[in-house]
């Protein structure tokens, strides 16, 4: 793939914006943090998209309210732009507790949503887009997204657990220039998930580093840490960024810690 300039920007929490050939896409972009108030640190920023009303496409890893905000997408996307998403969750009221807010919000916005299955491909402008398996910590449907543009290959892993699909993803797509990986390893005690589990619901920093090694990632941008921490309901693992950097260093992979809102590009 011929390399041209690709700019990337970490937004709030797990949000990412990618620019290539003067077009942008957003992944897990949110602005309405009201559903997160019981868990959110008020000091963590959630920057808006850089060019409202012009993004070519939006990608959703899953439909939790910290990853899916239909109102924000309506403001970020150009007219008729696609929103690619996984299938809706199914089950009891408790099973739907984490996806109900975003699903209800979609009904109030005229967005061109499309359910995309695992290992499927879409193309929008300069972007080739692929879904890959991910495993949600609460049993809801989730994808990882692979984005190819400007001769670069990027993966965004939402808030997945560590799983056995990493090798299959690597066999199809590795190496990756950049991996946006979740690292906060939270232990949760939600009232609708009882009895609670003492195991982490998202990858730990060390697990994320191992995933990056399997994926042959040149650089890792950590996401999904710092913004939410309200024990005992949601307890982030201690010092996630520092631990990720230490583990990646031992594996010869570069850690790219990015403040929300800052653009960066690869050498």
Please state, for a pLDDT cut of 90, what percent of the chain lies above it. Answer: 93
pLDDT of 1 reads: 57
Stretch 148-169: mean pLDDT: 97
In the beta sheet, which residues pair with residue 261? none
pLDDT of 204 reads: 98
Cα Dmax for the chain: 52
Stretch 106-133: mean pLDDT: 97
| CA distance linking residue 160 with residue 183, whole number of Å | 9
| Domains along the sequence of the chain with CATH | 6-260 (3.60.15.10)
Q: Which residue has the tokens 């309901």?
A: 233
264: pLDDT strictly greater than 80: yes
> Across the chain, what does the average pLDDT equal?
96
Per residue, the 3-state secondary structure of the chain, as one string, reads: CCCCCEEEEECCCCCEEEEECCEEEEECCCCCCHHHCCCECCCCCCCCCCCCCCEEEEECCCCCCCCCCHHHHHHHEEEEEEEEECCCCCCCCCCCCCCHHHHHHHCCCCCEEEECCCCCEEEECCEEEEEEECCCCCCCCCEEEEEEECCEEEEECCCCCCCCCHHHHHHHHCCEEEEEEECCCCEECCCCCCCCCCCCCCCCHHHHHHHHHHCCEEEEEEECCCCECECCCEECCCCHHHHHHHHHHHHCCEECCCCCCCEEECC
pLDDT of 24 reads: 98
61-89 pLDDT, tens digit each: 999 999 999 999 999 999 999 999 999 99
| CA distance linking residue 260 with residue 256, whole number of Å | 12
| CA distance linking residue 81 with residue 53, whole number of Å | 10
| CA distance linking residue 16 with residue 264, whole number of Å | 12
pLDDT of 41 reads: 79
6: pLDDT strictly greater than 70: yes
266: pLDDT strictly greater than 90: no
Stretch 21-48: mean pLDDT: 92
Cα angle, residue 40 at apex, residues 38 and 45 outer, rounded to 5°: 150
pLDDT of 219 reads: 97
| CA distance linking residue 229 with residue 64, whole number of Å | 16
pLDDT of 42 reads: 76
């Amino acid at each position: 793939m011929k390399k041209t300039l690709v700019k990337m920007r970490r937004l709030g929490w797990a949000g990412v914006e990618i620019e290539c050939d003067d077009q942008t896409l957003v992944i897990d972009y949110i602005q309405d943090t009201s559903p997160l108030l019981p868990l959110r640190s008020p000091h963590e920023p959630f920057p808006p998209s850089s060019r409202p009303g012009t993004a070519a496409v939006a990608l959703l890893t899953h439909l939790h309210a910290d990853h899916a905000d239909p109102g924000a997408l309506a403001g970020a996307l150009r007219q008729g732009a696609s929103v690619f998403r996984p299938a809706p969750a199914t089950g009891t009221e408790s099973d739907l507790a984490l996806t109900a807010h975003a699903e209800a919000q979609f009904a109030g916005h005229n967005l061109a949503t499309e359910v995309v299955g695992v290992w499927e491909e879409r193309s929008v402008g300069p972007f080739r887009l692929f879904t890959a398996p991910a495993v949600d910590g609460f049993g809801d449907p989730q994808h990882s997204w692979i984005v190819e543009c400007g001769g670069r290959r990027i993966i965004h892993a939402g808030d997945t657990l560590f799983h056995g699909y990493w090798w299959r993803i690597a066999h199809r797509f590795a190496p990756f220039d950049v991996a946006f990986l979740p690292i906060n390893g939270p232990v949760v005690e939600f009232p609708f998930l009882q009895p609670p589990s003492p195991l982490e619901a998202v990858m730990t920093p060390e697990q994320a580093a191992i995933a990056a090694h399997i994926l042959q990632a040149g650089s890792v941008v950590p996401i999904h840490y710092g913004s939410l921490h309200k024990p005992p309901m949601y307890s982030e693992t201690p010092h996630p960024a520092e631990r990720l950097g230490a583990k990646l260093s031992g594996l010869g992979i570069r850690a790219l810690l990015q403040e929300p809102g800052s653009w960066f590009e690869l050498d």
